[in-house]
Amino acid sequence: MAPRLCSISVAARRLLGGPGPRAGDVTAAAAARFYSKDNEGSWFRSLFVHKVDPRKDAHSTLLSKKETSNLYKIQFHNVKPEYLDAYNSLTEAVLPKLHLDEDYPCSLVGNWNTWYGEQDQAVHLWRFSGGYPALMDCMNKLKNNKEYLEFRRERSQMLLSRRNQLLLEFSFWNEPQPRLGPNIYELRTYKLKPGTMIEWGNNWARAIKYRQENQEAVGGFFSQIGELYVVHHLWAYKDLQSREETRNAAWRKRGWDENVYYTVPLVRHMESRIMIPLKISPLQ
């Protein structure tokens, strides 16, 4: 690092028009910031972003599980407030039939209402065993399912908006499995800077061990279609107090703070939802 500082100090003196102060002085630091303002590889940036080796493969190949070909779909439905109860009842009457029908290569992972976060919102997480071919097979069959088409028509009158994403699961996370309740669930969503997904995965592959003692880690996913460079971490807790205690305990483990230090600079935006399972949710 010393030679880099020396060269920047020389540049600073030239910019300032005189012999100038030494490398540690305030004016030289100001000139150094000007010197590296638009330099993506500047020494200043390298202090805050942990570098990873260049990769030639797609993120989905490097980060997802090799032993499975599961594809996930997450749906966010913003419901008209006066229809939330009716929406839940309709959902609970129809979706389990798809989950249990062996002709449809899809299964429910979890179904929730948002408790803290966006209000009057439903979140659904589906698994397609077999990847994209399973997704297309399911979609084609639903086009001829009269009950499902009627369900969609009735549901559309209850919604303000809806959106979805297709996701893959991180190789180092647990695969979501049904849970007995009662639990609350936290969906933490991170929107990353483009180009940083590998670095995020490298850090969390080491850090996930700090969050396993209370079985709170449910699943970790990254987007493939929809808004890109989005990560979802799903956690389960008995209640809000146990959530606070579990998260505080992580900070007392050596190494957790390093993960936070290296991953925070990768994030553009982050959001937390606290969710309550619907009656039909395999994750209770």
CATH number at 111 reads 3.30.70.100
φ and ψ at residue 116, rounded to 5 degrees: -120, 130
For residue 227, being part of any structural domain is answered with yes
Enumerate residue ranges in the chain where pLDDT < 70. 1-62, 65-68
For residue 71, the cross-strand partners are: 128
Q: Enter the DSSP assignment of 65.
A: -
Any domain includes 1 = no
Cβ-contact 1, 44 below 8 angstroms: no
Q: Is the dihedral of CA 278, 280, 283, 284 positive or negative?
A: positive
Whole-angstrom distance, CA of residue 192 vs CA of residue 194: 6
Q: Name the residue range of residue 123's domain.
A: 70-277
Task: Evaluate whether 71 touches 131 at the Cβ level (below 8 Å).
Answer: yes
Please give the Cα distance from 200 to 212 (Å, whole number). 18
User: Which contacts of 107-110 are long-range, i.e. CB under 8 A and separated by 24 or more positions?
Assistant: 108/280, 108/281, 108/282, 109/72, 109/176, 109/219, 109/282, 109/283, 110/176, 110/185, 110/234, 110/277, 110/281, 110/282, 110/283
**CB-facing half-sphere around the CA of 257: CA atoms within 13 A:** 6
- Please report whether residue 156 resides in a domain: yes
**How many folded domains does the chain comprise?**
1
**Which residue blocks in the chain are alpha helix, DSSP H?**
2-16, 26-35, 43-46, 59-63, 84-100, 132-142, 146-156, 197-207, 240-251, 256-263
Residue 234 domain flag: yes
pLDDT of res. 47: 39
Query: In this structure, is residue 128 part of a structural domain?
Result: yes
Average pLDDT, the chain: 83
Strand 121-129 to 159-169 pairing: unpaired
Give the percent of the chain with pLDDT over 90: 65
The pLDDT value recorded for residue 58 is 57
Length reported for the chain: 284
pTM: 0.78
Considering the domain boundaries, does residue 203 fall inside one?
yes
Backbone phi, psi, residue 195, to 5°: 95, 0
The reply to whether 235 falls in a domain is yes
The candidate with the shortest Cα–Cα distance to 234, out of 162, 163, 282, is: 282
Asked, for residue 9, whether it belongs to a domain, the answer is no
Per the CB < 8 A criterion, the answer to whether 123 and 187 are in contact is: yes
